[in-house]
Structure 1
Amino acid sequence: PFRNRSVEENLDLFKRMKGGEFPDGAKVLRAKIDMASGNLNMRDPVLYRILRAHHHRTGDKWCIYPMYDFAHGQSDSIEKITHSICTLEFEDHRPLYDWIIEKLEIYHPQQIEFARLNLGHTLLSKRKLLQLVKEEHVSGWDDPRMPTISGMRRRGYTPESIRDFCERIGVAKANSTVEMALLEYCLREDLNKRATRVMVVLRPLKLTIINYPEGQIEELTAENNPEDPDSGTRKILFCRELYIEQEDFME
């Protein structure tokens, strides 16, 4: 009902919004585009709203804040972003992204949409992960159980394995779910090429070879990594008394 207001009246109301004259939610600033557009985002979208919220940088200086669609393109333009990579739900927002930048006559980045990564049985929502951190269900963002880069680093994932995983799944326009087994496979492939082989007995059971000479010790040579000839070799001692895993013993 207010699409035909004069520019002067709109500027006056916006100045009063900025000055804190109106309560939260009482007024909004909308762009005058096309109420008959087939794209709901182009039907006179809201650009600014009144919200008295404390900001982590500006404190309580502002009581009006821009909507995401209004700020998105300008932020990208100011930072000289060449390609703004978004998930598929922003595809319908791209016409508004372009419209605002064109009307402001500022540097124009290109918005591109792609399908988000979904890992099977894995929570990737930043909002829900933040809840886990705030409620102290985990020790922090680098908790080994968290699907974050820092968490995966603590869990033993190498940068090369994560890059290999990303190259294998590629970028797509269709939403899909990737199984965690593929990520684990990429890690095994990377570690297989570089990791030094060692042996460990977690639950030792002493074994005595009664027909082996007492006091005799043999040195056996083992490769540090069969996949990497340059990794060298190591000596393994063999004698009358050995230790095996308890589960490997049978009466």
Structure 2
Amino acid sequence: MPWLRNAAVHGLARRGLALRRHPASRRQSLLAGLGVDLVVDVGAARGGFAQEVRAFGYRGRILSFEPLAEAYADLTAVCADDPAWEARRSALGSESGSAEINVASNSDSSSLLPMDDRHRAAAPQVDYVTTQTVAVSTLDAELGTDPTRRPFLKLDTQGFERQVLAGGRASLDRAVGLQLELSFVPLYDGGMLVDEAISLAYEHGFVLAAIESGFASPDGPVLQADGVFVRG
């Protein structure tokens, strides 16, 4: 009944809420339409993104990368019963080697880059608490001999996307889809901002297909969103 639906929508709106299509549903439609045969999950944390992809219907291969010891242990436990989901303990960057990663109190904000004061102001409960030495590989080294033909690349590396893509030029050219964090203000020192991220994606033949909500300041402004790009 339209009147009941409208009443529910307006009731939610008065409470600052909205009824909308889940972004993962749209993403799954894009994955299916693109014929994706591998989801590359860079910065997998504890596997939340891949679990969401599975929950909304993707049944192909998933390859997850996570450098932090504790998060990787949780990730491997989550994917242990899924034969099409592989986890590798590594950061990705412009070249192979090792690096010191800053470990945040909430883990998800951990980064190879220093945290900007604007991030601390927006989330004062979050800060770096320690460091870990982690292995660093490159996207091209990891995917160079992979037999899949239509990969989708998802990067969630807290400002380090530029370096990941610099080490994955061939992989980026193979990809049919790409998901990047779009930062509207600096959140990590030296991190890629929205204009550079979108320009880079378009230079490699992608077009923006969807924007998903991300990190917002408690006083209202949206500081970061996720951009989903498809091969144009």
Q: What is the TM-score when the length of structure 2 is the normalising length? A: 0.24
Larger Rg belongs to: 1
Structure with more of its chain in strand, by fraction: 2
